[in-house]
């Protein structure tokens, strides 16, 4: 059986009377991208700092590639690449110098570090800014530089805190491709992000945190299975005019169906129910131009865990 790249069991951390991490248990697989999902203040960054060996837990067990990052931080840091939410250091150094000096700190010769810097600058689209000081870079450019710094020693385990923040659409696509390549190479990637639509397109597994605790798989499954809203748009009429025919085709009371611009919103209990609903609309001769989930599954589960199930009417 493959050893998980990252393990946390019963981890807790408080700051005085503030219990940032109350009880976290998770595993992140080798060869997979695992998403860490939770609202602001749920303890994600505190957990990341502990995994990166920068903060000691009050209780519990942590492992990075089988190594305790608190007991043996040097060995753990040699295996992992840590990308914080903000670059946070050396604003007067150029992008090239930042990467090269980081490489030397990991034991590379000056020549090796410079060669690795040149490679990463090209790979992450930073060549035009190679000799610009970090302090003049935009938010998205600093994110790319922070990622380059995390990758300089070719780590097998990556901890990425909000890596897509500030990136333009093309850079987000490039990041997704890069993360999938890392997974294919057998690396372990743990990524925290609030951009759930982006996260859903790249991750293999998801771990949810609420109020400093990881949510049980049973609770996540229950949240994911609750009524989910779908958007229905007809090609030949506006939303308000579409409510009655859509409701008639689905056997629903039109009074319970809200409208969002041109779309009629309908709740379905499951994907098979949604498929049956689409079939009913087509069978009724309605010109369906759009039939799509209003939220991705990650967002749907996240909102349900945080706020509880909604009260919108649904079709069975």
For residue 228, the model assigns a pLDDT of: 86
In this structure, the strands spanning 288-293 and 228-234 are antiparallel
Residues 155 and 229 in one domain: no
Residues 141 and 193 in one domain: yes
CB 159 within 8 A of CB 190: yes
Residues 130 and 233 in one domain: no
What are 192-249's pLDDT values in tens digits?
Answer: 987 787 788 899 999 999 889 998 888 887 777 788 889 999 999 999 999 999 999 9
For residue 311, the model assigns a pLDDT of: 34
**Tokens at 227, concatenated:** 């009524």
| Residue 52 DSSP class | T
Residue 46 CB-density burial (10 A; 0-12 exposed, 13-18 middle, 19+ buried): buried
For residue 307, the model assigns a pLDDT of: 61
For residue 89, the model assigns a pLDDT of: 66
For residue 306, the model assigns a pLDDT of: 67
Residues 27 and 148 in one domain: yes
Residues 226 and 167 in one domain: no
* Alpha carbons 43 and 46: distance in angstroms, whole number: 5
In three-state secondary structure terms, 141 is helix
Residues 265 and 309 in one domain: yes
For residue 309, the model assigns a pLDDT of: 40
Residues 108 and 233 in one domain: no
Asked whether residue 63 is domain-assigned, the answer is yes
Last-in-domain residue among 184, 215, 246: 215
For residue 314, the model assigns a pLDDT of: 44
The structure's pTM equals 0.81
Query: Do you know the residue count of the chain?
Result: 316
Q: Tell me how many domains the chain contains.
A: 2
| CATH code of the domain covering residue 119 | 3.40.50.300
Last-in-domain residue among 185, 215, 245: 215
Residues 76 and 190 in one domain: yes
Of 235, 166, 228, whose CA–CA distance to 194 is shortest? 166
Residues of the chain falling short of pLDDT 50: 308-316
Give residue 303's domain range: 222-315
């Amino acid at each position: 059986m493959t050893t998980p790249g990252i393990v946390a069991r019963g981890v807790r951390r408080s700051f005085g009377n503030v219990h940032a991490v109350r009880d976290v248990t998770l595993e992140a697989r080798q060869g997979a991208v695992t998403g860490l999902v939770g609202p602001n203040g749920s303890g994600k960054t505190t957990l990341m700092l502990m995994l990166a060996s920068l903060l000691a837990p009050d209780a519990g067990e942590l492992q990075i590639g089988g190594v305790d990052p608190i007991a043996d931080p040097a060995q753990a840091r040699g295996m992992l690449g840590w990308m914080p939410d903000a670059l946070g250091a050396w604003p007067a150094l150029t992008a090239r110098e930042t990467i090269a000096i980081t490489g030397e700190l990991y034991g590379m010769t000056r020549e090796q570090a410079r060669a690795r810097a040149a490679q990463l600058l090209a790979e992450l689209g930073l060549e035009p800014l190679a000799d610009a000081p970090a302090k003049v870079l935009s938010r998205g450019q600093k994110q790319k530089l922070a990622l380059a710094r995390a990758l300089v020693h070719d780590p097998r385990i990556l901890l990425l805190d909000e890596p897509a923040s500030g990136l333009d659409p093309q850079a987000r696509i490039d990041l997704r491709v890069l993360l999938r390549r890392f997974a294919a190479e057998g690396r372990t990637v743990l990524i925290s992000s609030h951009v759930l639509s982006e996260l859903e397109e790249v991750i293999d597994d998801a771990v949810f945190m609420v109020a400093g605790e990881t949510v049980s798989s049973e609770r996540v499954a229950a949240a994911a299975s609750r009524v989910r809203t779908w958007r229905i748009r007809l090609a030949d009429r506006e939303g308000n005019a579409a409510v009655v025919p859509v409701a008639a085709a689905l056997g629903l009371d039109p009074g319970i169906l809200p409208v969002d611009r041109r779309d009629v919103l309908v709740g379905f209990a499951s994907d098979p129910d949604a498929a049956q609903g689409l079939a009913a609309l087509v069978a009724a001769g309605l010109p369906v131009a759009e039939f799509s989930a209003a939220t991705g599954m990650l967002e749907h589960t996240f909102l349900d865990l945080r706020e509880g199930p909604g009260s919108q009417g649904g079709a069975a």
